[in-house]
Structure 1
Amino acid sequence: MKLFAAILLSLLVSACATQPEATSPPPSAAVGKTVDAGAPLVQQAAVLIAAKRPAQALPLADQAIAYYESTYRKSAPLVYSARWPVESMLYALEGHKANTNSRVYGIEWGLAYFLRGFALVDLHRLPEARAAFDDAIKLSPRNSKYLSERAEVDIAERNWRPALEGFQKALESADLSPPELKTAETTRALRGMAFAQIELGNLDTAQALHERALQLDPGNEKSLNELRYIQSRKARLPGPGRPI
């Protein structure tokens, strides 16, 4: 998980080069670009986390969060943070359907909460990490990456059914992931679901999930290793011709 997340963080850092821009569903007018004092803090925090320096990253993420909360929170009844136009349009439509004014900002606000959560996981402060991921998901409810990392907290706390539900949401949301991340985020959710199913004793279901992941990412070592583990578990189960 950590290696994959560090690689993805490098992709997210590149996305931070753009200023957050607020948009609204019709007929509201879009808010123009603003000076974003939080983006450099988010970028620095991401670099520090990738370098396994969570204690140094945490205060930077907190500073970015404070900036975005004070700058954007009161801009509309509904506020969101999106990483690409398709996701942004979906969030804008949520406000339109609810007949409520909404604003959709760039990736940085939600990412600041995500980085806070990631740092707290590395610092073994899981309850705080859970809250940070929840805040990121409130801003970016269809971000598959955020949903998977939130489910990882449930895995760490051995809450298998909530973890399964979280990874299921991540899988569904992967349909909206940017094209360059869709396969990685889809297979990540499938592997997470499979892990929870193994712990719940559903080996056949877990096997099928890993097989789905391999259809999208052939040769993935994590899924191949898990399939070997599942087969070893099945071989030890009581059955015809098997010792109990």
Structure 2
Amino acid sequence: MKRLFAGAALLAAFTLAGCAPHAAVKPDSTITLSLDEAGKQVADADEQKVLDALKMIEAGKIQLAIDGPLTEVVSKYEAMYAGKPGKVFCARGLVDALAYAGMGAKAVNGNADVSVQVIGPAWAQAYWARGYAYSEMARYADARAELEKALVLSPMDSQYKSELAFTYQRSGDWEKMLALYQEAEGDAGISGATPEDAVRLKCVALRGQGYALVELHRLDEATGAYQGCLKLVPGEPKSLAELGYIQGLRAKAH
């Protein structure tokens, strides 16, 4: 299975057109997001830095991307929220923003009186992109540390969980890889800002599960995972190729 990377899936934070930019969900929860009038996500300056860093990574300037724009974005938010009470979450869209706002007050040491702020995705994306960059350099322990930071901010983000699962693929921890891809599948509908995004994220997670299940010699379950992706995306080439591989394994066993 090839590298599961979806840089184009980076989505901007948004504001509902015609609504106040700060929408109170409950007394201790505030969502701060931004949409254009058509309801499309618009990247802010920090998200653009992350996108620029991804281009640098793809051009082979990996360490420069980490040390430059990605660390710049991370340092900005770490300084901004250092020592402040309450909990901050990063959301890609309204669905995950509402989910975080609803769960947030209970997520801080069981104390329901803490404030919760849901902001756009740039901070978590910067951690994710640093994790992706470290994976590209085969520094998987460093990648995991960054991806786990991203998931603290966005605990229901399917893409981040799939990226973390990939690091366990590279170290051969198939059970951990499988568990994370299963979580990523479950979170696809929440962290996908559009139905198309949700389908793409779910298919990535199903393919990842299929890969892990093959390595665990659970071929019937692996077949089911790849077929699940094909139900979502008929003719999806990677799933078809992996199903062919499974058929070959079964033929060799007889």
1:223 aligns with 2:231: no
Instruction: Report the equivalent of 2:66.
Output: 58
Distance change >3 Å, CA 155–CA 23, structure 1 → 2: farther
Aligned with residue 178 of structure 1, among 193, 196, 199: 193
Instruction: Report the equivalent of 1:72.
Output: 81
User: What SS does the corresponding residue of 1:141 show, helix, strand or coil?
Assistant: coil
Instruction: Report the equivalent of 2:160.
Output: 146
User: What SS does the corresponding residue of 1:83 show, helix, strand or coil?
Assistant: coil
Instruction: Report the equivalent of 2:116.
Output: 102
1:15 aligns with 2:12: yes
Instruction: Report the equivalent of 2:37.
Output: none
Instruction: Report the equivalent of 1:235.
Output: 251
User: What SS does the corresponding residue of 2:26 show, helix, strand or coil?
Assistant: coil
Give the superposition deviation at 1:50: 3.6
Task: Give TM-score, length-normalised by structure 2.
Answer: 0.82
Q: Distance in 2 between matches of 1:206 and 1:37?
A: 41
1:81 aligns with 2:90: yes
Specify every segment of 5 or more residues in structure 1 that has no aligned partner in the other structure, as ranges: none
Give the superposition deviation at 1:16: 6.6
Give the superposition deviation at 1:28: 3.6
Q: Distance in 1 between matches of 2:175 and 2:31?
A: 41
Specify every segment of 5 or more residues in structure 2 that has no aligned partner in the other structure, as ranges: 16-20, 34-43
Give the superposition deviation at 1:22: 6.8
> Quick check: which one's helix share is greater?
1
CA deviation map 1:30-67 (0-9, x unaligned): 4878xx77444323212222434322211121121111
CA deviation map 1:183-242 (0-9, x unaligned): 1100100000010000001011101111111010111110001000000101111xxxx4
Instruction: Report the equivalent of 1:44.
Output: 52
Q: Distance in 2 between matches of 1:195 and 1:203?
A: 10
Q: Share of identical aligned residues, percent?
A: 32
Q: Distance in 2 between matches of 1:188 and 1:196?
A: 13
Q: Distance in 2 between matches of 1:62 and 1:224?
A: 39
Q: Distance in 2 between matches of 1:224 and 1:88?
A: 35
Task: Give TM-score, length-normalised by structure 1.
Answer: 0.86
Aligned length, in residue pairs? 231
For CA contacts below 8 A with separation 6 or more, give which structure has more relative contact order.
2
The 5-angstrom pairing of residues 146-165 of structure 1 reads 146-165=160-179
C-alpha contact 2:165 2:180 (8 A) present in aligned 1: yes
Q: Which moved more, 1:92-101 or 1:140-149?
A: 92-101
Q: Which moved more, 1:222-231 or 1:77-86?
A: 77-86
User: What SS does the corresponding residue of 1:198 show, helix, strand or coil?
Assistant: helix
Q: Distance in 2 between matches of 1:31 and 1:203?
A: 44
Distance change >3 Å, CA 77–CA 28, structure 1 → 2: closer
Instruction: Report the equivalent of 2:212.
Output: 196
CA deviation map 1:136-190 (0-9, x unaligned): 1111111100000000000000000000000000000012122231111001000
